[in-house]
Amino acid sequence: MLNGNLPMQKTKEILLSLLAIAFVVIIPHTGLVPFPFGYCIPVLLVAWLVLKLNKENFSNTGFKLKDISIKALLAGIVMAIILFAFLTEVFFPFIHKLTDLPAVDLGDIANIKGNTGFYIFLLAMGWLVGGLYEEIIFHGFIFTRLEKLFPLKYAMPAAFLICNIIFAFYHYQLGAEGVINAFIAGCVYHALMLHYKRNMWYAIFCHAVYDTIALTYIYAGF
């Protein structure tokens, strides 16, 4: 990683990337932006600025408007259904039989039960923040910044693992089960994106549809 042989410009780029990663992960949990999900704006601005300073843009992270397709949507829907069914009907029931792992702490999200207005609002946020924003920031921006920290041979797998660990603990407010859920789901979203030549739309649709299913599940009282 960082060593004395790196050119000064490369060292500055790496330090800037590390600071940016810390910023985009921490700021959403500080409450400094007073309106719901308002943290997305400064975080995206910082990510854009870091990319611009490195003579890059969001297309270098895998987000390209021209890559959106029906195939990506359909693949995302199918994978989200399989993932949700596996986690809720197989994986966590098995884990609960073996351990006393507390259920996910839903917090305010639990209030959507029977609350159609709040449910619709969170569905919109599930697509805009969960699907679009989180994929751009985590499996796009953070992942590509992390790749720069490792030798080429190990860059992708190391960055993949660290990125999804960060993504998991970013959801610490959901409790231990929520963190585990986020790690597994994050790995699936990310792997789907990488499988399709880093086309982020596959991850975006999978993430958004997964959130839609989960919110609907809670709204219906399951």
Q: What is the mean pLDDT of residues 121-149?
A: 95
Residue 181 lies in a domain: yes
Residue 33 lies in a domain: no
pLDDT value at position 213? 96
104 DSSP 8-state letter: P
136-165 pLDDT, tens digit per residue, is 999 999 999 999 888 888 999 999 999 999
pLDDT value at position 101? 85
Residue 84 lies in a domain: yes
Residue 37 lies in a domain: no
**Pairwise CA distance, residues 60 & 169, whole Å:** 25
Contact between 211 and 127 under an 8 Å Cβ cutoff? The reply is: yes
Does the pLDDT at position 2 exceed 60?
no
Q: What is the mean pLDDT of residues 119-134?
A: 94
pLDDT value at position 203? 98
pLDDT value at position 6? 55
Residue 128 lies in a domain: yes
- The mean-pLDDT minimum among 1-10, 86-95, 117-126, 190-199 falls in 1-10
Does the pLDDT at position 93 exceed 80?
yes
Can you give the C-alpha Rg of the chain in angstroms?
18
pLDDT value at position 216? 94
CB atoms within 10 A of CB 101: 13
List of residues 6+ apart from 53 with CB closer than 8 A: 16
* Total count of domains within the chain: 1
pLDDT value at position 5? 53
Determine the 3-state secondary structure of 159 from DSSP: helix
**Pairwise CA distance, residues 170 & 172, whole Å:** 6
Residue 212 lies in a domain: yes
pLDDT value at position 156? 95
Q: What is the mean pLDDT of residues 23-46?
A: 89
pLDDT value at position 47? 95
pLDDT value at position 39? 92
Torsion, Cα of 35, 125, 25, 111 (10° steps): 70
The domain of 90 spans: 63-219
Contact between 185 and 131 under an 8 Å Cβ cutoff? The reply is: no
Does the pLDDT at position 122 exceed 70?
yes
Q: Could you tell me the pLDDT band of residue 63, with boundaries at 50, 70 and 90?
A: very high
What whole-number percentage of the chain has pLDDT above 90?
A: 71
Residue 98 lies in a domain: yes
Residue 10 lies in a domain: no
The residue written with tokens 């994986």 in the block is: 91
pLDDT value at position 104? 81
Q: Could you tell me the pLDDT band of residue 135, with boundaries at 50, 70 and 90?
A: very high
